[in-house]
Amino acid sequence: MNFSLSDEQKLLKDSVDRFVAERYGLDARRTLIASEDGYGRKNWKTFAELGWLAIPFSDASGGLGGGPIEVMVLMEAFGRGLVVEPFISTILMGATLVETLGDKEQKAAIIPPVVRGEKLISFAHVEAQSRFTLSDVITTASTDGNGYRISGHKAVVFGGDSANQLIVSARTSGNQRDEDGISLFLVDAEAKGITRRSYGTVDGLRAAEITLSNVLVGPETMLGKEGNSFAGIESVVDGATAAVCAEAVGVMDSLQEQTLEHLKTREQFGLKLGKFQALQHRSVDMFVACQEARTMMYVATLSLNKPRADRIRAVSAAKSHIGQAGRLVGQEAVQLHGGMGMTDELAVGHYFKRLTMIDTLFGNTDHHLERFAATVHG
Amino acid sequence: MNFSLSDEQKLLKDSVDRFVAERYGLDARRTLIASEDGYGRKNWKTFAELGWLAIPFSDASGGLGGGPIEVMVLMEAFGRGLVVEPFISTILMGATLVETLGDKEQKAAIIPPVVRGEKLISFAHVEAQSRFTLSDVITTASTDGNGYRISGHKAVVFGGDSANQLIVSARTSGNQRDEDGISLFLVDAEAKGITRRSYGTVDGLRAAEITLSNVLVGPETMLGKEGNSFAGIESVVDGATAAVCAEAVGVMDSLQEQTLEHLKTREQFGLKLGKFQALQHRSVDMFVACQEARTMMYVATLSLNKPRADRIRAVSAAKSHIGQAGRLVGQEAVQLHGGMGMTDELAVGHYFKRLTMIDTLFGNTDHHLERFAATVHG
Amino acid sequence: MNLEYSDADQAFREEVQNFLRDNTPSTIRTKIDARQKLTKEDYMAWHKILYGRGWVAPNWPVEFGGTGWTPLQCHIFDEEIGLSGSPRVLPFGVNMVGPVIMEFGNDTQKAHYLPRILSCEDVWCQGYSEPGSGSDLASLKTRATRDGDEYVVNGSKIWTTSAHWADMIFCLVRTDTNAKNQEGISFLLINMHESGIDVRPIITMDGGHEVNQVFFEDVRVPITNLVGEENKGWTYAKFLLKHERAGIAAIGSQKRQLNRLKEIARAEQSNGQALIEEPRFRDKISRAEIELMALEYTELRAVSAANQGRVPGTEVNLLKIRGSEMQQKISELLIEAIGYYANPFVPDSFDAGWNEEPIGPDYAAALAPEYFNWRKSSIYAGSNEIQKNIISKMVLGL
Amino acid sequence: MNLEYSDADQAFREEVQNFLRDNTPSTIRTKIDARQKLTKEDYMAWHKILYGRGWVAPNWPVEFGGTGWTPLQCHIFDEEIGLSGSPRVLPFGVNMVGPVIMEFGNDTQKAHYLPRILSCEDVWCQGYSEPGSGSDLASLKTRATRDGDEYVVNGSKIWTTSAHWADMIFCLVRTDTNAKNQEGISFLLINMHESGIDVRPIITMDGGHEVNQVFFEDVRVPITNLVGEENKGWTYAKFLLKHERAGIAAIGSQKRQLNRLKEIARAEQSNGQALIEEPRFRDKISRAEIELMALEYTELRAVSAANQGRVPGTEVNLLKIRGSEMQQKISELLIEAIGYYANPFVPDSFDAGWNEEPIGPDYAAALAPEYFNWRKSSIYAGSNEIQKNIISKMVLGL
């Protein structure tokens, strides 16, 4: 039982905290979002140089062999800075799927260039009807000679606009929500038959709707065994879920600090706002929510390598809990800022929007409450 | 659209408010609860003399032809006074079942003595397994000659200790939760085969567990048609539910007033408690809850004579809403009183207990939320 | 006591429904259905249609061009406007400065301004809040200094809705800097086209432009534009607050939003069934429906009392609190309903004429921005904290 | 970073479990299982059993008879006590006055009182709150006036848990009436058997008798019973608050209550299925379970930091707030689970030896009184409002 970072982890934390503090002001972020890429290529290069892109991958794959704790440290800082670079989509989803399910050749082909910052991969999985059910896939891959033809529509693929490669989930057998029968394919993002419609998101990220129309892929593009990818998808998504919990905690802590700063500065009726007891008690509620969210971030992160049921119990408890805590902290931060909290000019609204959208990622509060209950109560 | 009492209703309100203010101090109530009967026979006589016991019954039955509004006026005042007399069990449940389902002879035999305060009747319906499902009845009545033999156990029969007669629900056909097949019987409380175990309740009322073992009753004891009582039970219980909503509103308003009085009197840190903004805002939340609960009391009361679906929608919305509002007001009232709120000596705890128990009567918040949803969304 | 609308009220409701159905211009209707932004021209066109029917100022006395409706009829009218999704008339002229001029203005002001408000010849905005004075309105610093027959106004107003559309602004200004906060304030009408006025847009976090900051630099205002007496402006401001908040619970438009939520929950899938069948989400809808019922009939209690001639009291504070909470709650459920499709953000899609395919279902695009935008409702028009302070003091006596 | 208990800690946990299983007297076990009241004799017997094992004062230094356990071991011990439903040792001697005497008492006091606390020769209670001073503790008025070698004490203490069982009371008394509130207070040990002391029971709304009001009329206390310096009592009181609140979140007993809730929800029927299968109730249990997880690991973060030698800070305030809220939430779900059977109230059934059939299921009788009783937990030991004031000031700097 220990909640302290190792010395190495502390160095990582110092490094990413410094990056965020020095490079991620609101204006710098605005510029990135407005740019054609929607993120900072230079930042991404820096991430690669600092080794951050290599963290979750094994030495054998060309990574640094880091684990959930290192990812948590990064993501919490990314939350504090509202970092828009495609770390979740490329590193925690795309390349981690390759690390989890890929064969030697696939890993060798993909992970090193990803780690060098030269390749972006997104996971094209969610569909219009699937909501948060990971096994709900109607995109199909039918055999064609040695290969497959994939057809279907993938919804809100984060980073899908800039990705060089896509990992596409498609059904090779089974019914719409069967866990069996889902296969993954590594597809070039420019492949014939793929249409990408790119757009920004309300919280400053980029995503794409991706339509696949008879996209022909060879057998070597398959990641993992045919029809047998669900367990891998689920564990990778659980890892990403724990990661956005950490991001949420970074966002929440920042909102809490911004709000306290406002309460200590702004005067009304001849007093600092922070002297009004009703606002004091609500600030304490925010503080408690932040503290408990941090606890649940640890619980999720430190359970990722446990057996499936334990992992699900922890991750779903955390995502559900942080969804609620985040709603409280986000809404209160805006409210306690008054009119200024509503503006695009101040940071608080941007943090609020990101926190709101995190609740929609990988399943919201209710989805994870159900998943927790189903795991715990059977 | 009108939320004002008629002049007659205002007179009724004055009269019952005066009774409660003058006769229902906490000490008087304590004495009643500790007495053998558990309520005031003299009070009951007064209710009869003032005509209150006759209110809900038609002129033809020997009543005053009052309606839901008059009952609401009484019940709200009874809530303010924490009145323990068996008005709900005898008047709103027992005798109203007779009024709703009984034939001419039954009404003539029962309603006049009830109205004169000479007879108490309880509705023995709930069973250990039934929770809030009105159709969940396993007590059976099997034919025996012209009559029936009733066997089963009835749980938490309010007023069942002092009732002269019982209306017992029993299944004459159908399965455990079928709406069809439930029959009602008017049974003498001292009949052979009936065992009553009487007890007090946490909020100062009296109830009994009633076991029926081969109780023989004649065909003339049946209330309504064989197997066809569910609709009548449901409408009577909806009426009683609206009535306890009104009682809850009386309790809540009193708690709100007691709490305000405390906040205006008690000093801490050199200030009246009422000067602390956090407590002010919580008092406002209580006030808002009381106001909305009052609104829902009107909605339920004024919908009792509407078609079934409209009635259910209104009554279940009200009971569900008031359950939540009552929890807030009750818990906050105790909390804001501090240690004194915990004592048996002060009134606030007694009001809190009654309000807590009202949520268990005729279905709690969740039960009525489900019933509302099933009616509205189908 | 009864919950029923009279036959006359029912007939009135149908008349309103028919009018709204037959008279909303198709350009406006198309935008409403597509949840696109309305332009100033749309609002003016709609204002003039209501003016043509004599319905633009229901609350005004008949002598000034009002309808003579009962409070209950006004409520029905508001509800139907909301239910149909028709635009509301901009409140600053009709609901706010109009009643102040009627009550406290002189005959010249009445004769000049009131008809122009009715006909929409002047579009108005409200100059109350300032950067330094949010909830503490009385600490405002914008100064009007007397110079002959004119005031010279210097200072700045913020959160000024529609200032970029307005011809006139009514302002609280400080005319006596020596007096205590609430004394020394005057109520001044200022022509927005005067030189020295600069309107700068404030973009809100949903990406929209509704509010502005307005700067006054040596703006000269004739003293004839003073309403009532100098230094008595606070009295008029308080009078106005009551008018501002009538109908603030917006029952009709909330019912419309709730219906929309149900439609979307029927269309959205969750684990192979309609989202509305999912017990948790169904409960959330039911709770919202019950809460809205409580809010509606709480408002109707106040309306019904007004119908019987009682003066509205502090119930507006309660309705402001609960109305804004409900708006926020329903808008929160709306984004919850659409899952991942809350994320896409295509600002152009909110402009008229955009006719690309929507991203995801056509109902999704506006929901997240609307949710963000509705966070304002517990802040503006007297934050909910201020409302609670008022109830605590005025109703509870704390 | 890891969530795992070490092998040594696991082994320790098993040792505790085995001890509790093998050493809880059957008379006590029976009462616990029947949810009947424990008597003073039960508490004393249990205290002596733990004393015999050397486990009665885990937090004390070894030199005074403590265990030398790590903070994590203390946490495990507390958790297992709670999980097993074993009684907690009355805290007033071991957890409260003991540490104060150790830190601020003189050698005579240490030599006299500490062994008697360990062996339960003295049962202690706490004299802090007064009728006029609830949350505002420092406004206390009970006076101790010096008269030769004695203080003469007059005044009254309230909410005094176990005063009717106690041999000794530690009191905050005012020794300087001219000083400001927090100055002029002294920390005095008073023999409860002294003449002039009157203990009157306070019955709480659950019908139970845990707390009392204690009256002092010219009670003579030797000055040797003063702890530390005169007029420095407030310092000692603040020191004590930290000790009082260790383990305040009561994780073990809350887990036990949650397990009980699940058992009951499996046994109760709702519409023909087990209540635990009903989606709404299942969600409530799940939420409670997740909240309890958050609370447990938040406490473990603090324990783990203490294990590494860091001094516990204001996290006790957070744990007090959330711990009491959880206790109340679970007890609320417990009465919700049993429906109508929350109503019956048979006070005799809580006494040992009552052996009639229960009314309804045997788990039902105590639940409503327990719910009522737990309302105290957000009031006592510094109300949650006071805790929020403290966090606001000390942690948030507001």
CATH number of the domain bearing residue B297? 1.20.140.10
Place of tokens 């724990």: A242
User: Given a cut of 90, is residue C352 above it in pLDDT?
Assistant: no
Give per-residue pLDDT as tens, D149-165: 999 999 999 999 999 99
At which of C231, C255, C282 does a domain end?
A: C231
Of the candidates A117, A112, A327, A367, the one whose C-alpha atom is nearest the C-alpha of residue A241 is A367
Of the candidates C149, C129, C145, C147, the one whose C-alpha atom is nearest the C-alpha of residue C137 is C129
What type of residue sits at position A57? Answer: F
Ramachandran angles phi, psi of B194, nearest 5°: -100, 125
Domain match, C226 and C264 both: no
pTM as predicted: 0.97
C106 within some domain: no
The string over B252-288, giving b where at least 16 C-beta atoms fall within 10 Å of a residue's C-beta and e elsewhere, is bbbbbebbbebbeebebeeeebbbbbbbbbbbbbbbb
A352 with C372: Cβ contact below 8 A:
yes
C147 within some domain: yes
Q: What is the mean pLDDT of residues C127-145?
A: 91
> In the structure encoding, which two tokens stand for residue C95, read together?
């609901």
Distance (Å) from the C-alpha of residue D371 to the closest C-alpha of chain C?
Answer: 26
User: Given a cut of 80, is residue A330 above it in pLDDT?
Assistant: yes
At which of D72, D89, D106 does a domain end?
A: D89
Domain match, A189 and A94 both: no
Domain match, C263 and C226 both: no
Residues of B in contact with D370 (CB under 8 A): none
At which of A227, A250, A273 does a domain end?
A: A227
Helix (H) or strand (E) holding A2: none
User: Given a cut of 70, is residue A378 above it in pLDDT?
Assistant: no
Q: Kindly list the residues of chain A whose beta carbon comes within 8 Å of any beta carbon in chain D.
A: 1-6, 9, 69, 260, 263-264, 274-275, 277, 279-281, 283-284, 287-288, 291-292, 295-296, 298-299, 301-303, 317, 320-321, 369, 372-373, 376-377
Domain match, C364 and C287 both: yes
Question: How much is the CA Rg of chain D, to the nearest whole Å?
Answer: 22
pLDDT for the residue numbered B378: 63
Question: Per DSSP, what are the bridge partners of residue A122?
Answer: A166
D301 with A275: Cβ contact below 8 A:
no
pLDDT for the residue numbered A362: 98
Domain match, D264 and D372 both: yes
User: Given a cut of 90, is residue A63 above it in pLDDT?
Assistant: yes
| A284 vs D393: CA distance, rounded Å | 10
Q: Which residue of D has its CA nearest to C283?
A: D280
Give per-residue pLDDT as tens, D305-354: 999 888 777 788 999 999 999 999 999 999 999 999 999 999 999 998 88
| D14 vs D21: CA distance, rounded Å | 10
Mean pLDDT of chain C: 94
Strands D344-345 and B194-201: antiparallel
Chains near B (3 or more Cβ pairs under 8 Å): A, C, D
C244 flagged as catalytic: yes
Domain match, B241 and B348 both: yes
What type of residue sits at position C151? Answer: Y
D380 contacts chain B (CB < 8 A): yes
Give per-residue pLDDT as tens, B155-186: 999 999 999 999 999 999 999 999 999 999 99
Give chain D's length: 398
B96 within some domain: yes
pLDDT for the residue numbered A19: 97
C336 within some domain: yes
Domain match, D210 and D261 both: no
C204 contacts chain A (CB < 8 A): yes
Give per-residue pLDDT as tens, C285-322: 999 999 999 999 999 999 999 998 887 777 889 999 99
At which of C187, C205, C231 does a domain end?
A: C231
- Three-state DSSP class for B60? coil
C residues 311-330 closer than 8 Å to A (CB): 328
Q: What is the mean pLDDT of residues C64-84?
A: 95
User: Given a cut of 80, is residue C134 above it in pLDDT?
Assistant: no
Domain match, A16 and A99 both: yes
Dihedral sign for Cα atoms in the order D132, D135, D137, D139? negative
Domain match, B153 and B201 both: yes
Place of tokens 């009980």: D260
Domain match, C256 and C226 both: no
ipTM over 0.90: yes
Give per-residue pLDDT as tens, B324-378: 999 999 999 999 999 999 999 999 999 999 999 999 999 999 999 999 999 987 6
Of the candidates C204, C327, C129, the one whose C-alpha atom is nearest the C-alpha of residue A342 is C204
Residues of C in contact with A136 (CB under 8 A): 271-272
Grade residue C3 by pLDDT with cuts at 50, 70 and 90: very high
Q: Which residue of A has its CA nearest to D316?
A: A288
B1 within some domain: no
CATH number of the domain bearing residue A73? 1.10.540.10
Q: Kindly list the residues of chain D whose beta carbon comes within 8 Å of any beta carbon in chain C.
A: 279-280, 283
Domain match, C165 and C32 both: no
B2 within some domain: no
Size of interface B-C (CB pairs under 8 A): 114
pLDDT for the residue numbered D284: 97
C379 within some domain: yes
Question: How much is the CA Rg of chain A, to the nearest whole Å?
Answer: 21
Tally of structural domains, chain C: 3
User: Given a cut of 70, is residue D111 above it in pLDDT?
Assistant: yes
Distance (Å) from the C-alpha of residue D360 to the closest C-alpha of chain C?
Answer: 30
Distance (Å) from the C-alpha of residue A175 to the closest C-alpha of chain D?
Answer: 26
C286 with B369: Cβ contact below 8 A:
yes
Domain match, A79 and A13 both: yes
Chains near A (3 or more Cβ pairs under 8 Å): B, C, D
Give per-residue pLDDT as tens, B208-264: 999 999 999 999 999 999 999 999 999 999 999 999 999 999 999 999 999 999 999
Q: Which residue of B has its CA nearest to A281?
A: B278
Residues of B in contact with C4 (CB under 8 A): 1
At which of A192, A227, A262 does a domain end?
A: A227
pLDDT for the residue numbered D244: 62
CATH number of the domain bearing residue D46? 1.10.540.10
B201 with D376: Cβ contact below 8 A:
no
Ramachandran angles phi, psi of D194, nearest 5°: -65, 150
Distance (Å) from the C-alpha of residue C281 to the closest C-alpha of chain D?
Answer: 11
| B80 vs C21: CA distance, rounded Å | 49
D117 within some domain: no
CATH number of the domain bearing residue C148? 2.40.110.10
At which of B186, B208, B227 does a domain end?
A: B227
Name the DSSP class of A256. Answer: H
Neighbours of A251 (CB within 10 A): 31
A182 within some domain: yes
Domain match, B249 and B343 both: yes
Mutate to test the interface with B, among D160, D205, D392 (most CBs of B within 10 A): D205
Q: What is the mean pLDDT of residues A131-136?
A: 97
Tally of structural domains, chain B: 3
Chains near D (3 or more Cβ pairs under 8 Å): A, B, C
A276 within some domain: yes
Domain match, C269 and C388 both: yes
| D17 vs A167: CA distance, rounded Å | 51
Domain match, D301 and D251 both: yes
Domain match, B85 and B192 both: no
Domain match, A82 and A152 both: no
Domain containing C28: what range?
Answer: 7-89
Mean pLDDT of chain B: 97
Look at D255 and D243; give whichever has higher pLDDT.
D255
User: Given a cut of 70, is residue D246 above it in pLDDT?
Assistant: no
Domain match, B161 and B147 both: yes
Question: Per DSSP, what are the bridge partners of residue C221?
Answer: C151
C1 within some domain: no
CATH number of the domain bearing residue B169? 2.40.110.10
| D340 vs D358: CA distance, rounded Å | 14
Domain match, B104 and B19 both: yes
Domain match, D145 and D59 both: no
Domain containing A113: what range?
Answer: 7-118
A309 within some domain: yes
pLDDT for the residue numbered D310: 83
B211 within some domain: yes
A329 within some domain: yes
- Three-state DSSP class for B110? helix
Residues of C in contact with A177 (CB under 8 A): 271-272
Domain match, A236 and A215 both: no
Domain match, C257 and C292 both: yes
Domain match, B97 and B12 both: yes
Grade residue C241 by pLDDT with cuts at 50, 70 and 90: confident
Look at B313 and D247; give whichever has higher pLDDT.
B313
Domain match, D252 and D224 both: no
Give per-residue pLDDT as tens, D79-105: 999 999 999 899 999 999 999 999 999
The answer to whether D343 touches B156, Cβ cutoff 8 Å, is: yes
Q: What is the mean pLDDT of residues B116-121?
A: 98
